[in-house]
């Protein structure tokens, strides 16, 4: 909620300026099922566990969650349903913060980039946004990523301030919900360390799911050139969703390294449940610094919740309350590839 009356999730005005109020520890979750099979791609299962063995995989169990359930009106297509649900969810999130306008803040975060020692390494964040078609879009100021003139450098504060929103229903664990951009741990850490351990060079938004080998290579080189234009010595490359978006990330790392920009990629593994196979969908030799976000194919033990919100059955028709073991890939944000959550790797 903005005290000056501007939209919290703007499509016309620029985000990242002025003041924005928020409620800490509150998330708005939308639940919907798309009834129309209009294309080969379709939504994937998404589960949030608030009390069982999957609760520790994401932070939602520690939040106050406002759950919105949407039922499709007769004749409403998938894209219309998604736009209605997304718009309503964002509006509810903004409305919930309304009482903050008459309250004193418990804390104030300031996001400013002042002068910093030129001897510190200059680090850029390269943030991938999906665009694979309807139900697989991330939006930049309300425009699908594929039509948002990416790659392009933006003020990092824009991402924290509602410029990027999620309309993506890919594998839940690999999905980047809107709240991940609003509270980006990566961006906030780079701000915090600016002038101490590094210089925050800036942020580049880049598209995931380029559809031809030529477009993937072109986009990777363009992203590296944009990062070089910011004066970056190093880059942290995030991933959105899975499959061929991992190829886009690896080619971007390769292009950055060839441009003299040392790079680290954050990717989830997609191995077998016991992690006996290679977990990387793609890899290039230049990618010698990789942070794993966990294995999306591991299985969470079965349990029976006392209550289920948002729907009684899963997409395959089984009971949501008695679904049995569920793969990690179905837990919202569990293997988030932006550095958002606290999963770590342990060597035994």
Helix (H, G, I), strand (E, B) or coil at 261: coil
The pLDDT assigned to 109 comes to 96
DSSP state of 209: -
The pLDDT assigned to 249 comes to 98
Cα gap 238→331, rounded to integer Å: 19
Question: What's the predicted TM-score (pTM) here?
Answer: 0.94
| Pairing relationship of beta strands 152-154 and 199-208 according to DSSP bridges | antiparallel
Q: Which residue has the tokens 């379709």?
A: 42
Contact 122, 233 (CB under 8 A): yes
Taking the alpha carbons of 282, 288, 290, 296 in that order, is the dihedral positive or negative?
positive
The pLDDT assigned to 103 comes to 94
Quick count: other Cβ atoms within 10 Å of Cβ 284?
A: 16
| Pairing relationship of beta strands 262-269 and 234-237 according to DSSP bridges | parallel
Torsions phi, psi of 144, nearest 5? -55, 145
Query: Could you tell me which of 265, 259, 255 has the C-alpha nearest to residue 233?
Result: 259
Contact 238, 175 (CB under 8 A): no
Contact 240, 176 (CB under 8 A): yes
Instruction: Give pLDDT tens digits along the chain (348 positions).
Output: 999 999 999 999 999 999 999 999 999 999 988 876 655 566 788 999 999 999 988 889 899 999 999 988 888 888 899 999 999 999 999 999 999 999 999 999 999 999 999 999 999 999 999 999 889 999 999 999 999 999 999 999 999 999 999 999 989 999 999 999 999 999 999 999 999 999 999 999 999 999 999 999 999 999 999 999 999 999 999 999 988 999 999 999 999 999 999 999 999 998 888 877 778 889 999 999 999 998 999 999 999 999 999 988 888 888 999 889 999 999 999 999 999 976 665 666
DSSP β-bridge partners for residue 208: 130
H helices then E strands: how many in the chain? 6, 13
The pLDDT assigned to 281 comes to 87
Residue 133 is encoded by which pair of tokens? 């078609």
Cα gap 151→224, rounded to integer Å: 9
The pLDDT assigned to 73 comes to 80
| Pairing relationship of beta strands 136-140 and 143-144 according to DSSP bridges | antiparallel
> What burial letters (b/e) apply to 96-114, b meaning 16+ CB within 10 Å?
bbeeeeeeeeeeeeebebe
Show the 3-state SS of 84-147: HHHHHHHHHHHHHCHHHHHCCCCCCCCCCCCCCCCCCCEEEEEEEEEECCCCEEEEECCEEHHH
């Amino acid at each position: 909620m903005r005290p000056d009356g501007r939209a919290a999730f703007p499509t016309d005005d620029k985000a990242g300026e002025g003041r924005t109020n928020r409620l800490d520890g509150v998330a708005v979750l939308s639940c919907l099922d798309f009834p129309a099979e209009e294309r080969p791609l379709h939504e994937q299962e998404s589960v949030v566990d608030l009390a069982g063995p999957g609760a520790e995989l994401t932070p939602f169990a520690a939040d106050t969650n406002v759950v919105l359930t949407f039922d499709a009106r007769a004749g409403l297509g998938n894209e219309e349903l998604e736009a209605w649900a997304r718009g309503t969810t964002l509006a509810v999130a903004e409305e919930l913060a309304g009482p903050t306008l008459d309250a004193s803040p418990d804390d104030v975060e300031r996001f400013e980039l002042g002068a910093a020692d030129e001897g510190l390494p200059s680090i850029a964040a390269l943030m991938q946004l999906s665009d694979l078609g309807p139900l697989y879009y991330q939006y930049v100021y309300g425009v699908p990523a594929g039509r948002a003139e990416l790659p392009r450098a933006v003020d990092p504060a824009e991402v924290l301030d509602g410029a990027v929103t999620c309309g993506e229903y890919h594998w839940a664990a690999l999905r980047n919900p809107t709240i991940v951009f609003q509270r980006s741990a990566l961006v906030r850490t780079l701000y915090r360390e600016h002038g101490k351990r590094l210089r925050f060079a800036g942020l580049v938004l880049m598209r995931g799911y380029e559809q031809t080998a030529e477009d993937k290579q072109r986009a990777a080189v363009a992203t590296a050139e944009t990062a070089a234009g910011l004066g970056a010595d190093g880059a942290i490359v995030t991933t959105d969703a899975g499959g061929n978006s991992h190829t886009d990330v690896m080619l971007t790392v390769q292009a950055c390294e060839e441009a003299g920009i040392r790079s680290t990629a954050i990717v989830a593994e997609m191995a077998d449940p016991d992690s006996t196979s290679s977990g990387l969908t793609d890899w290039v030799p230049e990618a010698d610094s990789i942070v794993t976000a966990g294995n999306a194919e591991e299985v969470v033990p079965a349990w029976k919740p006392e209550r289920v919100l948002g729907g009684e059955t899963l997409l395959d028709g089984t009971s949501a309350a008695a679904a049995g073991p569920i793969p990690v890939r179905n837990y919202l944000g569990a293997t988030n590839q932006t550095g958002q959550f606290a999963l770590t790797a342990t060597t035994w």
